[in-house]
Amino acid sequence: MSEEAVAVVIDVIGGNCPVQAEGTVDGKPFYFRARGDEWSMSIGGDDIIMSPEWYYEEAYGDWPEAGWMPEDEARAFIAKAAAAYHAEKRPSP
């Protein structure tokens, strides 16, 4: 049995202090933000920033390194968080 792939679409990515991205994961909106010494990703919900359906954050370097995160690293972290979300939300067989 093969596992269903996570569908990630990045509509906007860029910036410094913070690095931000928006798009969808499995059809639900996401918001990615990297600033200071951490990055976070919110997915779904009525208010994706204040009360998301799913939220994850992780430490990144020392202040203010996360705000200067290269775009390729941000894309990798978005994929990592999306995979974790997808794994948690996928229905059991």
For a pLDDT cut of 70, what percent of the chain falls above it?
A: 92
Give 46: exposed, middle or buried? Use CB within 10 Å, 0-12, 13-18, 19+. exposed
Encode pLDDT of 5-22 as tens digits. 888 999 999 999 999 999
Phi-psi region for residue 78, left (φ > 0), alpha (ψ -120 to 50) or beta?
Answer: alpha
Token reading at 31: 């918001």
Q: Kindly compute the dihedral angle of the four CA atoms of residues 53, 83, 77, 15, in this order, to the nearest 10 degrees.
A: -50
Encode pLDDT of 9-66 as tens digits. 999 999 999 999 999 999 999 999 999 999 999 999 989 989 999 999 999 999 999 9
Average pLDDT of the chain is 92
Is residue 4 predicted with pLDDT exceeding 80? no
